[in-house]
Amino acid sequence: MTYILGIETSCDETAAAVVIDGKTTASNVIASQIDLHAKYGGVFPELASRAHIEAIGAVVDQALEDAGVTLDQIDAIAVTRGPGLVGSLLIGINYAKGLALAARKPLLGINHLEGHVYSLWLTQPFREVNFPVLVLIVSGGHTELLLMRGHGQYERLGATLDDAAGEAFDKVGRMLNLPFPGGPNIERAAQMGNPGAFPFPRTKRDQSFDFSFSGLKTAVMREVTVPASSEARKKSAPEKGLILRSDISINDVAASFQEALVDTLVEKTARAAKHYGAHEVFMAGGVSANQRLRAQMRKETDLPVRYPPLNLCTDNAAMIASAGHFRYLSGLRDDLDMEVLPMWALSNNTYNVRNRP
Ligand code: KG4
Ligand code: ZN
């Protein structure tokens, strides 16, 4: 059996986990900073790095303890190398290097997006994957369509040209005065709203597999806020920001926004799956927790659709450990002086990426 210790600090979660053979989660510890960032309505990079420094030692110790193993029994240490916030990535990678050096263990630098893909390998019971697979990654920082032909092999088919899907959820959540993060709170409000109340725009049905959500976000803003020229708006101090119209239902706006975004994601994914002859559709990342997205994806494609367990949709280290397992099996090891790659795109063969920025 292969034991991989995973460490993830690319954004606002300090996480460590132990995964056995890439598929069994022996432990999964996450110190979330949501409360810390909630009052800013988003992730504050300097605060994030400081919180990672404070939490990482205890989080890693806890992950080993929960799994009932010592560092000696670990086969390799997998750590998120990018993409992400540079200051946050550095905390994880430096900690992982320290452990690897002290315990003489191999070090594996993992692409965070590849980690999200491997959250699908942690579903129990695991069914063998029938490649090629069409993967939709929808998180707070990324919206990408990939064709995965095998372990570590990705072809990037499209991505968002502006906001990521989760970012759109978070921005619209802020507009509607819902708590951070917007995604789960919009989903909750949407359950009580009418998805047909507002005909928000869907991304143009062009032939590309790219996404754009800024038009949708602007359309929502135009619908829900008091126009800048109005008397009510002029009377308010500018620092008060946007004023919400009082005559509309937040639940209806949330449901209509979610429906427009989900329609776009599903249409492009289903079309890409058909076009490239995929055998399965995978969804991963924070937004893949969305029940409406899951239901519509199942409805609109004839292929088997997989998504991670709810607790592994958002950032965690078990997915990093699982990705690390397959990198480890491929025989690759990274250097102890590897650098962080804050803009690392997931494409081609990730197993061949060395210290290339
Ligand atoms: O994957 P993740 O934890 O972080 C990144 O790597 O970016 O995703 C976080 C994002 C946030 O934007 C959050 O609003 C969104 O996932 N999210 C959701 C839901 N749960 C989390 N969006 C829609 N519906 C949800 N249920
Ligand atoms: Zn993520």
Q: Give the tens place of pLDDT for each residue, 88-116.
A: 999 999 999 999 999 999 999 999 999 99
Return d(Cα 209, Cα 144) in angstroms, integer. 9
d(CA 151, CA 132): 10
Is residue 278 assigned to a domain? yes
* Distance (Å, whole) CA 62 – CA 67: 8
Residues 171 and 249 in one domain: yes
Specify the pLDDT at position 357: 35
- ω into 45 cis (within 30 of 0): no
The CA-based angle 166-238-184, given to 5 degrees, is: 20
12 in a structural domain: yes
Specify the residue for token string 């619908």: 223
Reply yes or no on whether the pLDDT at 56 is more than 90. Answer: yes
pLDDT band at 244 (very low <50, low <70, confident <90, very high): confident
Task: Identify which of 121, 216, 117, 213 has the alpha carbon closest to the alpha carbon of residue 159.
Answer: 213
Residue 13 sits in the same domain as residue 91: yes
> 């993409």: which residue's tokens?
83
Q: CA nearest 353: which of 143, 97, 114, 91? A: 114
d(CA 154, CA 167): 24
255 in the same domain as 167 = yes
141 and 214 together in one domain? yes
Tokens describing residue 312: 């592994």
Token couple for 85? 């916030």
- For the beta sheet containing 153-159, the strands, ordered from the edge strand earlier in sequence to the opposite edge, are 305-306, 280-284, 133-138, 143-150, 153-159, 348-349
Ligand number, closest to the Cα atom of 313: 1
Q: Give the residues surrounding ligand 1 with Cβ less than 6 Å away.
A: 11, 139-141, 166, 169-170, 181-184, 187, 285-287, 289-290, 314-315
Helix (H, G, I), strand (E, B) or coil at 180: coil
Query: Strands across the sheet with 76-82, in order?
Result: 24-32, 13-20, 3-8, 76-82, 107-111
As given in the structure block, the two tokens for residue 280 are: 């399965």
Q: What is the CATH number of the domain that holds 191?
A: 3.30.420.40
State the average pLDDT for the chain.
91
pLDDT of residue 325: 97
Residues 20 and 142 in one domain: no
Q: Ligand 1 pocket test: pick from 314, 316, 344 the residue with the most ligand atoms within 8 Å of its Cβ.
A: 314
Whole-number percent of the chain with pLDDT over 70:
90
Most informative mutation of 186, 187, 216, 287 for ligand 1 (most atoms within 8 A of CB): 287
Name the residue range of residue 27's domain: 3-121+313-352
Please choose, from the candidates 6, 2, 3, the residue with its C-alpha nearest in 3D space to the C-alpha of residue 96: 6
Q: What's the sign of the alpha-carbon dihedral 91, 322, 283, 180?
A: negative
Ligand 1 center to residue 89 CA distance, Å?
A: 19
Tokens representing 177 are 């005065």
303: tokens are 């292929």
DSSP β-bridge partners for residue 77: 5, 107
Same domain for 280 and 324, yes or no, is no
Would you state the pLDDT for residue 227?
A: 76
Model pLDDT, residue 46: 74
pLDDT at 38 (0 to 100): 67
Q: How far is the CA of 266 from the centre of ligand 2 (A)?
A: 20
Query: What total of structural domains would you count in the chain?
Result: 2
Q: How far is the CA of 265 from the centre of ligand 1 (A)?
A: 14
The region of weakest confidence among 136-150, 299-313, 341-355 is 341-355
State whether 192 and 227 are in the same domain: yes
Q: Which two tokens stand for residue 64?
A: 């080993």
Of all helices (H) and strands (E), which one includes residue 35?
helix 34-38
Task: Tell me, yes or no, whether 158 and 211 share the same domain.
Answer: yes
Q: Say if 233 falls within a structural domain.
A: yes
Q: Residue 235 pLDDT more than 80? A: no
Same domain, 223 and 250: yes
Q: Is residue 77 within a helix (H) or strand (E), and if so which, with residue range?
A: strand 76-82
Radius of gyration of the chain (CA): 21
Q: Which two three-digit tokens encode residue 180?
A: 């951070």
Q: Report strand pairing: 280-284 vs 305-306.
A: parallel
145 and 260: one domain? yes
Residue 73 has a CB neighbour count (10 Å cut-off) of 13
Report how far ligand 1's centroid is from the alpha carbon of 104 (Å): 36
Residues 286 and 145 both lie in one domain? yes
Same domain, 117 and 164: no
Closest approach atom of ligand 1 to CA 112: 6
Split at pLDDT 50, 70, 90, the class of 355 is very low
pLDDT for 167-209, tens place per residue?
999 999 999 999 988 999 999 999 999 999 999 999 766 789 9
Ligand 1 atom at minimum distance from 182 CA = 14
Instruction: Name residue 200's amino acid.
Output: F
Q: How far is the CA of 16 from the centre of ligand 2 (A)?
A: 14
Domain-located, residue 357: no
- C-alpha 181 – ligand 1 centre gap (Å): 7
Match 């209509």 to its residue by tokens: 256
* Ligand at shortest distance from the CA of 171: 1
Bond before 309 cis per omega within 30 degrees = no
**Rounded CA separation 22/31 (Å):** 22
Q: 342 preceded by cis ω (within 30°)?
A: no
Q: 221 φ, ψ to 5°?
A: -60, -45
